[in-house]
Structure formats: structure tokens, C-alpha cells
């Protein structure tokens, strides 16, 4: 099989470097272009020495990288992907955005939460939200994909069977999520400075995190009605991983075992979603460096609550791995091609 040609715009960031790590081992892909505004002309191994003798490509301009590619991955801050998507669309290239520019359906919502405008409304109508397991058929038929955020991926996969089967009261959800520091990106801030985050643990952006509308949009599609959530993220003093603990009021008399059976049925054909046995609890250490989402189910009989724990690696399933999974779907490759990583045992 001929290999497709891939370029990464923003390869010097954490998600971009993770994409490169994955794509270099993909059996159906040749990486032809990598870019960085800050490091153009340098070799990627000078920024990430782990690529020494594996990939020593020079970081080129965006124009060069796009021209060579069949698929373009954008790993950039919000507001920078729309013009790039327009160029790719004009030239018939698949465009997968790891940023926020193509995640939200409504321009007004994007402007409210991100302070930017939709400048190509036609492209946003073409774009598909790339939660691979749920919107696979839509992903197959598009060339513009908004890759989901890391928190929304863990939360949406955790809640999908419960909402689909009307097991919970969908308008009264409390979501408590924790992420490793890589989720904040490569740019250093006070809260991600080592002395501030090491031996520390606290919530941030309480009641105003930008992933909130994305979470609500996706859950509302599952429910067929508007869903609002209380979402509080926390910063863990670890490099990678997300754990989302979701508190739901039950809307059924089903036992926890019966609820788990519905989860198993919902994800029976999904390689990357693992519903754990009752009594086990999802733990981020068991999904690190992998594209898996582990889900465990628990019950508080005192308050009649279903408690869902969902965990992913924010850099893989929450970013680069899911982007490659979406690429595999678009091009008709085996869905786990290049991302069938086994999590390290310790």
C-alpha cells in the first residue's frame, strides 16, 4: 500500500511532538513536513533529543509543509487554524485540528468562550467533531475534523451509554476532572512552573473552563435536549493523564451490574474503550502512553447516585492518538494502525 503524506503544523509543542512520535511508527504514513514558528530551520532533535537518530527533519515553513501533504495536522493555539483549514480545503487535503477552532457548532458560543470569530462559516458547516467512537460515520465523510479536547473526550466516553440509555438525570451532572501538567501546553505559566505545581494539587478555572461548552454540546447531542454541567478541572502534579469522576443522579432501578452490562454492550466493538470489572477503579497509570479510555462504574446507594470514573492519557487519546485514529477512519486504514500501544505496566 502506498503511504499517505502527513505534515504537522506546530510540531514543537507537546501535542505536535506526540503526533510526530506516533506518525513515525505508522505503517501507512510518511511524515513529509513539520513546522514551528519559533524554531524554523532547526532540526526537531535539537528541541526534543529523544528523536536523535530517529527523526532529524528540519522544521520548515507552513507553506512548504502543506504543499507536500495529503493530511495536515494543526497543533496550534485557538484562533490560528481557520485560514490553514481554508487552504487545505481549497487544495483537497484532509485537515485535522487539535485546537479548538472546529469543535463548537455555533460561532456565537466560540466567540463567547474564546474571544475569536468564525471567519469561514462554510468550513465550519463542513467540519465534523471527531469523537471517534461516537461519530465515526460522520468522520468517514469529511475532510475537516475538529479533534475533541482532552477533558471532553474522557467525560463524553464516560457518559455516553448512561445518557443514551436514560440511566441518569442528564441535567444534573457534576464533573470533577484532574489533568497532568502537559494539558496546559508547552508555554510556561506561573501555575505550571515546577515549584508551583510540584507537591501541589488544586482546582482552576472554576465555573469558567473553556471545555465546558464543548462538553455540554456533545452531551446534549447524546440526550437530544440541552444538557448543562458543573465542571471543575484540577491540575495534578504528573506529566500526563486525566481522571474524570462524574456524579449522576440515577433515573433507573437497574442494578450496577445491569448498568455495566449496558456499558459493555455499547462499547463491545470499540478497541480503545475498556469497561472495567465491578470493584475495579479506573487509574491513569493503566492508560499512560496509550489510546485507551478506561471506565469504571460505582454506586452510592445512600444518595442513589451512579459514579462514573473515566481515565485517558491526555496526550494520546486526549490529543495526538485520537487525531491519528480519525485519520485512520478517513483514509480507510485499520483504526488502530500506529496507535495500538500497550500501556506500561509500571
- pLDDT per residue over 282-297, tens digit each? 999 999 999 999 999 9
Question: Which residue reads 514551528 in cell numbers?
Answer: 36
Does residue 47 have a pLDDT over 80? yes
Q: What is the spatial distance between Cα 306 and Cα 265, in angstroms, rounded to a whole number?
A: 18
The answer to whether 281 is a known catalytic residue is: no
- Confidence at residue 200, expressed as pLDDT on a 0 to 100 scale: 83
More confident residue, 128 or 186: 128
Please check whether the two domains, 4-148+317-331 and 151-314, share a CATH topology. no
On whether the 151-314 domain is CATH 3.40.640.10, my answer is no
Cβ(123)–Cβ(82) below 8 Å: yes
Q: Where are the domains of the chain?
A: 4-148+317-331, 151-314
All three cell numbers of 163, joined, read 445518557
Q: Own/partner pairs for 25-28, CB < 8 Å, 24+ apart? A: 25/338, 26/324, 26/337, 26/338, 27/337, 27/338, 28/1, 28/3, 28/4, 28/331, 28/333, 28/337, 28/338
Q: What is the spatial distance between Cα 175 and Cα 233, in angstroms, rounded to a whole number?
A: 8
Identify the active-site residue in 150, 197, 248, 293: 150
- pLDDT class of 39 with cuts at 50, 70, 90: very high
Q: What is the spatial distance between Cα 44 and Cα 52, in angstroms, rounded to a whole number?
A: 8
Does residue 78 have a pLDDT over 70? yes
- Confidence at residue 187, expressed as pLDDT on a 0 to 100 scale: 67
Angle at 42 between CA 38 and CA 45, to 5 degrees: 110
- pLDDT class of 192 with cuts at 50, 70, 90: confident
Mean pLDDT across the stretch 171-195? 83
Does residue 196 have a pLDDT over 80? no
H/E element holding 257? helix 256-266
Mean pLDDT across the stretch 46-58? 96
Q: What is the spatial distance between Cα 85 and Cα 106, in angstroms, rounded to a whole number?
A: 17
Class of domain 4-148+317-331 (CATH, top level): alpha beta
Amino acid at each position: 500500500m502506498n503511504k499517505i503524506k502527513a505534515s504537522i503544523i506546530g510540531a514543537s509543542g507537546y501535542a505536535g511532538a506526540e503526533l510526530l512520535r506516533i506518525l513515525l511508527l505508522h505503517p501507512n504514513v510518511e511524515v513529509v513536513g513539520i513546522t514551528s514558528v519559533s524554531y524554523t530551520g532547526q532540526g526537531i532533535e535539537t528541541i526534543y533529543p529523544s528523536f536523535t537518530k530517529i527523526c532529524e527533519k528540519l522544521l520548515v515553513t507552513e507553506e512548504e509543509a502543506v504543499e507536500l501533504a495529503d493530511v495536515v495536522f494543526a497543533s496550534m493555539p485557538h484562533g490560528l487554524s481557520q485560514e490553514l483549514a481554508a487552504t487545505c480545503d481549497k487544495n483537497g487535503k484532509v485537515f485535522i485540528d487539535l485546537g479548538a477552532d472546529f469543535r463548537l457548532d455555533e460561532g456565537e458560543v466560540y466567540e463567547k468562550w474564546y474571544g475569536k470569530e468564525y471567519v469561514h462559516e462554510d468550513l465550519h458547516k463542513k467540519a465534523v467533531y471527531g469523537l471517534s467512537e461516537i461519530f465515526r460515520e460522520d468522520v468517514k465523510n469529511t475532510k475537516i475534523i475538529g479533534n475533541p479536547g482532552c477533558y471532553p473526550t474522557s467525560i463524553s466516553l464516560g457518559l455516553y451509554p448512561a445518557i443514551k440509555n436514560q440511566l441518569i438525570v442528564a441535567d444534573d451532572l457534576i464533573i470533577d476532572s484532574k489533568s497532568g501538567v502537559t494539558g496546559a501546553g508547552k508555554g510556561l505559566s506561573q501555575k505550571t512552573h515546577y515549584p508551583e505545581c510540584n507537591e501541589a494539587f488544586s482546582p482552576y478555572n472554576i465555573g469558567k473552563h473553556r471545555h465546558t461548552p464543548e462538553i455540554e454540546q456533545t452531551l446534549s447531542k447524546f440526550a437530544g435536549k440541552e444538557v448543562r454541567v458543573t465542571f471543575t478541572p484540577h491540575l495534578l502534579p504528573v506529566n500526563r493523564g486525566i481522571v474524570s469522576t462524574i456524579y449522576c443522579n440515577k433515573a433507573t432501578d437497574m442494578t450496577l451490574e445491569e448498568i455495566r452490562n449496558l456499558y459493555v454492550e455499547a462499547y463491545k466493538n470499540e478497541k480503545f474503550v475498556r469497561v472495567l470489572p465491578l470493584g475495579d477503579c479506573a487509574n491513569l497509570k493503566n492508560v499512560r502512553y496509550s489510546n485507551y479510555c478506561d471506565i469504571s462504574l460505582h454506586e452510592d446507594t445512600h444518595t442513589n447516585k451512579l459514579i462514573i470514573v473515566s481515565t485517558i492519557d491526555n496526550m494520546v487519546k486526549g490529543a495526538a492518538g485520537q487525531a491519528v485514529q480519525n485519520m485512520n477512519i478517513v483514509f480507510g486504514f485499520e483504526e488502530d494502525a500506529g496507535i495500538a500501544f500497550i500501556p506500561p505496566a509500571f
